Structure 1
């Protein structure tokens, strides 16, 4: 059982009311950043639960189902300690390629059936399509998940990487708990239009990429199987320019008696409060050491002057390169 109580927030007006302000993103435990150690992954999930982290995020396409099965094994006997958030809809091929999105109502129920089996659970706490399917009205997709809530298989509905118009259409069909979207010191796009609408509608945020996939912590791609090797911010001249930002952040962090990762996480949480948005920061810790460092962010209190100094040193437009390649950026409804 939990040995620690972390700071908690509600996740949207109609969502879970006691969610740890740090959540665990499990994607990296299934090959996206290169090989991962299963025993270490399960130990990290258990340590997160012990520390009071109760939100764990996965996707049915992470490792083509591997991530859900891993999480199912880790949660055996501890399912009631976790709020499980699942993304669905992204289709893969046998060579691990990406072949599009499927948000049709029949597909929603099919994806859900397989997720429940792999996770070894009778319900999913928050269910969301990973990206907007341009061929299916969002109202149809949300309506299908709402049917699954009535049937008892899902508790809440979330969204992922969608813009204002889609958020409003979805919320009109069924209350949306939260929007999962990339948000960090160097990815601040949602502040202008998306966050104000979420605040107005009472929708929370689960922020992923709070370390910009490790860029802000000084982490670099480990090889060709690390998907960051194909991201603009980690390649060519951009990598050298962005290293300068990391150096600045590390200097600021040293002055605060913290690491760059801890400052980046603490900034996201402080900024959420300042904007009046229910904010949970997802950390992609794959090891006990990384988890311990991430939890240290909760001991760091950033005052107004700290935030101003950090934001002046790392202005929103300072990063070189987009957060995904051109192909994927074109599919992000949140960027339109």
Structure 2
């Protein structure tokens, strides 16, 4: 199983001024954190795209390109690129460039996005939400599989005998993962296309996702894809500490971000009871010490047969020192426990 870290570049807010902290500082911290993730032997690092004041990263590909120049082994991916409001030609070009800089370590994670700010920002109509994603995914896959592209859709001008350059290292092909939040339609799309699936499990009880992942496996085989090539991942909120006091303090960062998002979605205020419940074995939060988190990852492997786990670590913008410690524990303690257990 591959183990990795995901981030959105969360920004905390000053209680007195109500302003988010400096994005410049946050971005420098993220690069240090990616470098450490590589040094402690983690397999993959993912960065998400947002266009809101509480996130520092609107262009994951730019940060990942910077990361490519300071890392050696770790895979670099988006978690996710909001493909519905992006230009597939540019998405491929950007990640092919990262791939060349990193000597073949780039991947793309694409999804429809759970936030909608990018649609008006880039001039797209939300009424085309589903069709935009289907068309743009079709075009991205065409570009990924062909040096010369011929493609026609309804919402974008056609491409006729167009070369899309540069080409990625593996005969021009980049790994493309489909990220989903739990809708059967999205899972079915990934299975039909034979694409790797990553499921965001950030609340509730993970076991509730078992029928959805089983559905993906059944449809993947049904549509003639090689089961030995099947890849399934989950992406869940995570934070590692070596003492319970730090884990308890992290609740305040976590709750603050949940409440900021919840205020726009009609959620009730986030409680310590929810936090503690999420940390339990059956919960969706991978927050605690190395043994607790390793045990939960192994439980996810038992439930779903996952081949990748991404721990989303910067929810609520914990301190840089806290993030570095969390990454260190994940790489030097959690990863060895998980990988040793799976070898036995």
Over 3 Å counting, the alpha-carbon distance change for 1:190 and 1:181 in structure 2 is farther
Q: Contact 1:108 / 1:141 at 8 angstroms: preserved in 2?
A: yes
Alignment of 1:277 with 2:272, yes or no, is no
Alignment of 1:167 with 2:187, yes or no, is yes
Over 3 Å counting, the alpha-carbon distance change for 1:195 and 1:157 in structure 2 is same
CA shift, 1:239, in A, is 0.8
Q: Contact 2:6 / 2:311 at 8 angstroms: preserved in 1?
A: yes
For 1:182, the equivalent position in structure 2 comes to 201
CA shift, 1:49, in A, is 0.9
Alignment of 1:27 with 2:8, yes or no, is yes
Quick check: which has more Rg, 1 or 2?
A: 2
Q: What is the CA–CA distance in structure 2 between the aligned matches of 1:280 and 1:55, rounded to whole Å?
A: 9
Q: Contact 2:237 / 2:313 at 8 angstroms: preserved in 1?
A: no
For 1:245, the equivalent position in structure 2 comes to 277
CA shift, 1:272, in A, is 2.9
For 1:288, the equivalent position in structure 2 comes to 324
Q: What is the CA–CA distance in structure 1 between the aligned matches of 2:64 and 2:329, rounded to whole Å?
A: 22
Q: What is the CA–CA distance in structure 1 between the aligned matches of 2:136 and 2:144, rounded to whole Å?
A: 13
For 1:76, the equivalent position in structure 2 comes to 69
Bigger CA drift: 109-118 or 145-154?
109-118
Alignment of 1:147 with 2:183, yes or no, is no
Structure 1 stretches of at least 4 aligned residues deviating more than 6 Å after TM superposition: 117-120
Q: Contact 1:265 / 1:281 at 8 angstroms: preserved in 2?
A: no
Q: Contact 1:157 / 1:175 at 8 angstroms: preserved in 2?
A: no
Question: Could you say what secondary structure the match of 2:130 adopts?
Answer: coil
Q: How does 1:246-325 map to 2 (within 5 A)?
A: 249=280, 260-285=288-313, 287-295=323-331, 296-300=333-337
**How far does the alpha carbon of each residue in 1:94-134 deviate from its partner, in whole angstroms, 9 at most, with x for none?**
xxxxxxx537xxx3224444566689848742331243873
Q: What is the CA–CA distance in structure 2 between the aligned matches of 1:45 and 1:63, rounded to whole Å?
A: 15
| TM-score (norm. length: structure 1) | 0.59
Q: What is the CA–CA distance in structure 1 between the aligned matches of 2:334 and 2:91, rounded to whole Å?
A: 35
Q: What is the CA–CA distance in structure 1 between the aligned matches of 2:184 and 2:212, rounded to whole Å?
A: 6
For 2:212, the equivalent position in structure 1 comes to 194
CA shift, 1:229, in A, is 3.0
Alignment of 1:131 with 2:120, yes or no, is no
For 1:96, the equivalent position in structure 2 comes to none
Question: Could you say what secondary structure the match of 1:209 adopts?
Answer: strand
Question: Could you say what secondary structure the match of 2:129 adopts?
Answer: coil
CA shift, 1:136, in A, is 0.8
Q: What is the CA–CA distance in structure 1 between the aligned matches of 2:191 and 2:268, rounded to whole Å?
A: 41
Q: What is the CA–CA distance in structure 1 between the aligned matches of 2:101 and 2:261, rounded to whole Å?
A: 35
Give aligned pairs, total.
Answer: 256
Gaps of 5+ in 1: 1-8, 10-19, 91-100, 251-258, 302-336
Q: Contact 1:56 / 1:82 at 8 angstroms: preserved in 2?
A: yes
Bigger CA drift: 139-148 or 118-127?
118-127
Question: Could you say what secondary structure the match of 1:229 adopts?
Answer: helix
Q: What is the CA–CA distance in structure 1 between the aligned matches of 2:328 and 2:296, rounded to whole Å?
A: 18
Over 3 Å counting, the alpha-carbon distance change for 1:70 and 1:51 in structure 2 is same
For 1:51, the equivalent position in structure 2 comes to 40
Over 3 Å counting, the alpha-carbon distance change for 1:131 and 1:222 in structure 2 is closer
| TM-score (norm. length: structure 2) | 0.58
CA shift, 1:210, in A, is 3.7
Q: Contact 2:77 / 2:108 at 8 angstroms: preserved in 1?
A: yes
